[in-house]
């Protein structure tokens, strides 16, 4: 089937891969999750939304993309279909990242809205957004427009802390968008400061504080909090403890933030990944039988089927090596 055929637009599902720090495997996961979905018979569009450091095309072995996201955002290309380049992988297309950083590192709200409408009009079942590092509003906004927001975390302290920071920022960003009242907006802005006078440390505290000012808005924020459920992928695991980390982070987020995070799987640290990277080929086409590839396939299946790991999974789990 031809990619980007708008003849039969249907509601598609948007995934976004983020998680704070650079180098946690966001681009690696984006590309390979897309390929895993295509193996499940789905049509997929990858979008490199890392406006500061676009390199998804490199992961896919494309030297210099003809058209880019910035062409589309800037209106140099009118129709989104024209920005899609083939990847050589059946049923997987790519909109490459902006090459001219200065121009679009900060797209306007209207530009993002327009892009979203264009994406939603595509007759492609899955759209995967590869996000940049950090917690800038652009990144948070792309994460929030996704149906499934995926967080890539490495089993190391700095990455975990970054993911928590990302989670918190994304919730505050969402609350700010929902809240209409100036007083509530102000409260949310105050809450961003960790040492705020109200002692608000978590989205949960914030909701309580807002509910005190306006119970209706408090209820609304609570609903938002329950509906936004980030998905966690632990990448580069080397031990059973690393696998357990996903469950522990899920528990900690529930207890501390009052937020539901779903643990959708892990990917082993695997030398096949850098071997594939060196050849600028995606892991799933180069080494489909590798441990990391199998991990990715499972993550894709969980996400597509809206499932997650349960703790009984840990029993008898050992790395195959």
Partner 1 sequence: MKPPREQNFYEIFEIPATATREQIEQAYELAKKTYGDASLAAYSLFDLEERKEIVRKIHLAYETLSDENRRKQYDREIMKLDIQETLPPSGSAAMQTTRGVDRPDSSGEKPPKSEPVPIVIESLTGSELRRIRESRGIPLQEIANKTRINITYLEFLEKNKYGSLPPPVYLRSYVLQYARMLGLDPIPLADRILSLVEQAKKSDQQ
Ligand X SMILES: Nc1ncnc2c1ncn2[C@@H]1O[C@H](COP(=O)(O)OP(=O)(O)O)[C@@H](O)[C@H]1O
Nearest approach, Cβ of residue 318 and ligand X (Å): 18
Q: Is 67 helix (H, G, I), strand (E, B) or coil?
A: coil
Nearest approach, Cβ of residue 247 and partner 1 (Å): 6
Q: Interaction with partner 1 in 167-186: which residues (CB under 8 A)?
A: none
When CB distances are held under 5 to 8 angstroms depending on the partner's kind, the choice from Mg ion, ligand X, partner 1, none that residue 148 binds is none
Give dist(CA 262, CA 288) in Å, integer: 26
Give dist(CA 32, CA 38) in Å, integer: 10
Q: Decide if residue 239 touches partner 1 (CB under 8 A).
A: no
Nearest approach, Cβ of residue 207 and partner 1 (Å): 9
Nearest approach, Cβ of residue 137 and ligand X (Å): 19
- Give residues in contact with ligand X (CB under 6 A): 22-28, 235-236, 267, 269-270, 273-274, 277, 292
What does DSSP say about strands 85-86 and 92-95: parallel, antiparallel, or unpaired? antiparallel
Q: Decide if residue 249 touches partner 1 (CB under 8 A).
A: yes
**8 Å CB contact between 285 and 35:** yes
Nearest approach, Cβ of residue 152 and ligand X (Å): 6
What letters, b where the CB count within 10 A reaches 16 and e where it falls short, cover 243-279? bbbbbebbeebeeebbbebbbbbbbbbbebbeebbee
Tokens of 200: 């608000």
Q: Interaction with partner 1 in 257-296: which residues (CB under 8 A)?
A: 257-258
When CB distances are held under 5 to 8 angstroms depending on the partner's kind, the choice from Mg ion, ligand X, partner 1, none that residue 269 binds is ligand X
CB within 8 Å of 216: residues ≥ 6 apart: none
Nearest approach, Cβ of residue 276 and partner 1 (Å): 28
Distance of CA 22 to the CA centre of its chain: 13
Nearest approach, Cβ of residue 24 and ligand X (Å): 4
Q: Decide if residue 166 touches partner 1 (CB under 8 A).
A: no
When CB distances are held under 5 to 8 angstroms depending on the partner's kind, the choice from ligand X, Mg ion, partner 1, none that residue 274 binds is ligand X
Helix (H) or strand (E) holding 272: helix 271-278
Which of 227, 43, 45, 214 is CA-nearest to residue 129?
45
Give dist(CA 164, CA 73) in Å, integer: 30
Helices (DSSP H) in 123-198: which residue ranges? 137-145, 157-178, 182-192
When CB distances are held under 5 to 8 angstroms depending on the partner's kind, the choice from Mg ion, ligand X, partner 1, none that residue 252 binds is partner 1
- Give residues in contact with Mg ion (CB under 5 A): 26-27
What mask, x for binding partner 1 by CB under 8 A, covers residues 180 to 219?
Answer: ------------------------x---x--xx--x--x-
Where along the sequence are the contacts to partner 1 (CB under 8 A)?
A: 155-157, 160-161, 164, 204, 208, 211-212, 215, 218, 241, 244-245, 247-249, 251-252, 254-258, 311-312, 314-315
């Amino acid at each position: 089937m031809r990619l980007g055929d708008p003849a039969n637009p249907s509601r598609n599902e948007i995934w976004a891969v983020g998680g704070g720090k650079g180098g946690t495997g966001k681009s690696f996961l984006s590309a390979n999750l897309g390929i895993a979905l295509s193996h499940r018979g789905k049509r997929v569009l990858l979008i490199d939304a890392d406006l500061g450091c676009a390199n998804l095309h490199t992961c896919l072995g494309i030297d210099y993309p003809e058209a880019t996201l910035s062409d589309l955002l800037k209106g140099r290309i009118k129709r989104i279909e024209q920005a899609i380049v083939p990847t050589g992988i059946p049923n997987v297309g790519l909109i490459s990242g902006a090459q001219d950083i200065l121009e679009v590192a900060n797209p306007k709200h209207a530009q993002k809205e327009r892009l979203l409408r264009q994406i939603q009009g595509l007759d492609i079942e899955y759209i995967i957004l590869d996000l940049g590092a950090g917690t800038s509003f652009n990144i948070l906004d792309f994460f929030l427009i996704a149906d499934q927001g995926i967080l890539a975390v490495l089993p190391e302290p700095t990455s975990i802390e970054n993911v928590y920071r990302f989670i918190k920022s994304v919730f505050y960003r969402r609350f700010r968008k929902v809240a209409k009242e100036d007083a509530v907006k102000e409260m949310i802005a105050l809450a961003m400061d960790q040492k705020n006078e109200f002692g608000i440390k978590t989205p949960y505290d914030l909701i309580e504080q807002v509910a005190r000012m306006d119970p209706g808005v408090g209820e609304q924020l609570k609903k938002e909090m329950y509906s936004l459920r980030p998905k966690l992928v632990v990448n580069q695991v080397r031990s059973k403890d690393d696998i357990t980390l996903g469950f522990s982070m899920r528990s900690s987020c529930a207890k501390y933030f009052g937020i539901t995070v779903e643990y959708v799987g892990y990917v082993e640290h695997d030398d096949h990944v850098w071997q594939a990277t060196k050849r600028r080929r995606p892991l799933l086409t180069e080494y489909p039988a590798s441990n990391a590839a199998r991990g990715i396939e499972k993550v894709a299946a969980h996400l597509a089927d809206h499932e997650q790991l349960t703790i009984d999974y840990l029993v008898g789990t050992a790395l195959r090596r």
